[in-house]
A = this chain, B = another copy of it.
Amino acid sequence: MGNNVSIGLLGLGVVGSGVIKLIESHQEKLSHQLGCNVDVKGVLVRDLDKYREVGVDQRILTTNPDDVIQNPEIDIIVEVMGGIELAREYILKAFAAKKHVVTANKDLVALYGPELQEAASNNKCDFYYEASVAGGIPILRSINDGLSSDLIRKVMGIVNGTTNYILTKMDKEGLSYETALKQAQELGFAEADPTSDVEGLDAARKMAILCRLAFSMDVDLNDVEVKGISSIDLEDLNYAKQLDLTMKLIGYANFEDQKLDVSVQPTLLSHNHPLSSVNNEYNAVYVYGEAVGETMFYGPGAGSLPTATAIMSDVVTVIKNMLLNVTGTQFVEPHFKKDLKAPSERFAQYYVRMHVKDEVGVLSIISKLFNERKISFKQILQNPVKEKGTAEIVVVTHQTSLENFRTAMKQLHELDEVIEIKSNYKVEGDAEE
C-alpha cells in the first residue's frame, strides 16, 4: 500500500459527500495518526453530470461499479449507496476482490450482517459498520471493546432521530403528531414517506444490530417486536407529565438466563432515566452491564458529517489493521443460540388509559380485575370527561408479565363498565427495578 491508502466510494449522496469533505479537511490529522495519506480513487454515481456541492475530481466518478470494486489501486470500499440487494451484491464482490468494506447501511446489515461478516472473514477482509447505528455515536465499538469484559444485561436506545424529534415537539410544544411530522419533514429530519421511521422499522433494524453485538446472539430483524408512534395521542403526553414520565420511542433489549426480549415501542420513561432527557433529533444508547452498571452514549444519530465521522473511524481502524497486517481477524462466532423470551417471561410496568362509565363502584370493579391477576397499581388518576356519564381513568401498574397484562387488557375490554381502552404503554426506568 506504500505511503497511501486509497478508498473507493459506492454512492455520493449526503453521507458520501460528508466522507469526501472529512478526508479533505482532516487529512493532516489522519496522516499524523496513520503515517500515510488517505485518498479517494473512485466513486460510483448514478449520474456523472449531476451538480454536486462537494468538490470532487470528475475523472474519478464512474457509473460502472467494477471501476471501483475491481480497481487494483483501491484498498477499502465505503458503501454509502443505500438499498439492499444491489449493495449486498457489490459488497460480496468487493470481498471476493480482497477489498475491505465499511458501510453505513443499517437495512443491509440488519438483514445480511452475519452473512457479510462471514464473507469478509473468509477473504481475510475487514467489515465494519459503526455508522449503521446511531450515526456519530461510537456505540458499536464501545460495546465491542469498551465493555468487552462485562456481561451486558440491557440495551435501551433512542436510535431514531425523526421520531425523537416529533415526540419532543409534541411533548414540549404541544404540537399534534401531524404538525410535528410536517415540521420534521420541512427541516429534513423526516423523509417524504416517513413510514420506516415513524412505524419503528428503522429503530428495529438498529436494535437487531445492537443485540447481535451486545449479547453475542444471531438476532433477526423479525425477532424485534415493533410498534410505531403514529397513533400517539397528546392526551397521553399530558397525563405522562402529571405522572413524571416522558414518552420516547425506545428500542429495548433485555438478556436474562440466556434468553432475549427485544422490542421497539413508544414507552413512558421515568424522569430518573438518563434517556428521558435526550431530546430533539439526538440519539442515545443506554447500556446496563452486570459489572459496570448504567452507561449511556449520546450524540447525533444522523447527518452528513456525523455519519461520515463514524465511517472514517472505521476506515482508520481498517488502515491500522492493514499496517499491522491483521485484517479479517475481528469475527467472533455468536456465543449463544437464539432464544427469545415468552410473554410470560417478559416483565414491565404498564400505563393504561380508559374511558369508563361514571358510576359508583367502577374503580373498585377495575381494581378487582387487576388484583385477580396479581397486578397492583402504583398510581391512579381519574378525571371526568366531556361525554356525559363518562370518566377517564389512568393507571400505572407495578411490574407484571406481558402475558398477564394482555389477559388483563382482554378482560378489561369485556367489562360492561369499560367503554373504551384508549391506550396502553410500557413504563420503564422506574426506581423499583
Contacts and interface: CB of A to CB of B under 8 A. Distances in A.
Contacts of A298: 274, 294-298
Given A298-B274, A299-B293, A299-B294, A146 B151 contact: no
A16 to B, nearest CB: 14
Interface string A114-148: 00000000000000001000001110011001111
A145 B145 CA distance: 10
Q: How large is the interface on A (under 10, 10 to 19, 20 to 34, 35 or more residues)?
A: 35 or more
A33 B25 CA distance: 37
A33 B332 contact: yes
Nearest to A332: B33
Interface string A269-293: 0000010010000100000011111
Closest A-B pairs by Cβ, 6 of them? A138-B146, A149-B312, A295-B299, A136-B292, A296-B298, A291-B305
A308 interface: yes
17 contacts: A33-B148, A136-B289, A136-B295, A138-B142, A138-B145, A138-B147, A142-B142, A146-B310, A148-B316, A148-B317, A149-B308, A150-B312, A289-B309, A291-B306, A294-B300, A295-B297, A324-B326
A410 interface: no
Interface string A317-348: 10000001010010010010000000000000
Interface of A: 18, 22, 25-26, 29-30, 32-33, 130, 136-138, 141-142, 145-151, 216, 274, 277, 282, 289-300, 303, 305-306, 308-310, 312-313, 315-317, 324, 326, 329, 332, 335
Contacts of A216: 29, 32
A147 B295 contact: no
A300 B292 contact: yes
A293 B141 CA distance: 19
A104 to B, nearest CB: 14
Contacts of A32: 216, 332, 335
A371 to B, nearest CB: 35
Nearest to A305: B291
Nearest to A30: B149
A297 B134 CA distance: 14
A213 to B, nearest CB: 12
Contacts of A29: 149, 151, 216, 335
A310 B149 CA distance: 8
A324 B316 contact: no
B149 A145 contact: no
A331 B315 CA distance: 19
Contacts of A292: 136, 299-300, 305-306, 309-310
Contacts of A335: 29, 32
A312 B32 CA distance: 29
